[in-house]
Chain A
Amino acid sequence: MSKTKKFRPDVDAPDWGGRYYPYDIIKEGTIALIVVLVLVLGLSVVFSSPDEKQMTLQTWSKADPVDFATTAFSELAGTSASATYGPPYNTASQGQKIGPIALAQWLGVHIPVNPAVDFVLRPLSTLADNPPVTLALKQWNTASSSTQAMWIAAYTKGTIGYVNGQVVNTQTGAGPIPVLINAETAMARAGALQAQLIQGNGFYSTDYTKPLLFLADGGHLASVAVGEHLGGDQWGMMNETGSYPGQAWLWLYTTLYQIPPYSTSWSANADAMVWATMMIATLLLALLPFIPGLRSIPRWVKVYRIIWREHYRSLK
């Protein structure tokens, strides 16, 4: 029994009542596999793949001890990106919002990170047989928060330098901070700091949250990345190190960051707003069959006449 109803050319398609011809799909699949394998082998032989050496807290502090010391100080002072991040690491800020909705805050702190303690004070406390550091730590931990703030303000006023293997600051009156920062830098340069940041999880760990946050708080990682054109406003999300092709499929995602209002009035919540936009765009793509107008574009543009030209010719 057939039912006649209104024909919607962008929704309905009549059953094919025409001819069929022999078509070997397993042979086709096998040929496709061989062709792609040859192509992949060829590309791998000709171009290989990138493998830029990883950075460690040691290589960072050796390459740029001033940047390292400056970052370590910002962790202690609570002014670094990690220290002021908010959820999921801490409650230092509200996190980003989509309009009035603060998703990150609602989900809360699930990866607790207290940079002053986790990145500086606790690792330094593991240094054995180091009376100046032990004393400096005691001084810091027993001081009132207003005293600590005064020391921080003093250290901030000065300029950090690295002279004869020591971190120095042109300003005095910063209490134990110079000793702490100098010891932290020496610890990093000796290769002993990173293990302390991972070791928080015991003997085995595959969680690099803390050393990565510390690394990203500094300027060195970013300067190497920007040198490779991987920075956010360099459309870095789409790029790969060196001259390799990257991730062209992220074109829309990265474009949004470059244009107003994401780059201007929404910039404080850019990440959240870009994600919201991408979710909507993905939904539109997925639900295209149900969207009048958009689903008519193929019929209007008529590229199908090229694809099915043999069929249309046979009808004449």
Chain B
Amino acid sequence: MDSLLGALAAIINLNHQGTFIHWGWFQISVANLVVIILMIVTFVIALLVPFPGKNKRRGGGK
């Protein structure tokens, strides 16, 4: 188990100096910025993509 997981460990090694974006007094790490952008994108996609079950909602019901 140990050797299998050892072989898999960190395909992408993030244990190097981080990159930071500066904008006046504001600064953020690229990693955090990616996470925040992903959150916004996820939110927008969740709003826009149609939700399955439209036929059930038209046909069924009490």
Contacts and interface: CB of A to CB of B under 8 A. Distances in A.
Contact of B48 (A235, A242, A259, A306): A306
B17 to A, nearest CB: 7
Interface string A152-177: 00000000000000000000000000
Contact of B35 (A245, A306, A310): A245
Contacts of B19: 243
B1 interface: no
B22 to A, nearest CB: 10
Contacts of B13: 48
User: Contact residue range for chain B?
Assistant: 20 to 34
B61 A242 contact: no
A259 B25 contact: yes
A48 B14 CA distance: 8
B47 A307 contact: yes
Contacts of B28: 235, 238
A240 B25 CA distance: 20
B41 to A, nearest CB: 14
B31 A243 contact: yes
A20 B31 contact: no
A245 B8 contact: no
B12 A246 contact: no
A interface, over-half SS:
loop
Contacts of A209: none
Contact of A235 (B27, B47, B54, B60): B27
A306 B62 CA distance: 25
Contacts of B27: 234-235
Residue among B10, B30, B32, B34 having the largest count of chain A Cβ atoms under 10 Å: B32
A282 interface: no
Contacts of A19: 57, 60-62
Interface of A: 18-23, 45-48, 50, 228-229, 234-235, 238-246, 248, 258-259, 303, 306-307, 310
9 contacts: A19-B57, A20-B62, A21-B57, A45-B11, A47-B10, A47-B12, A47-B14, A242-B18, A243-B14
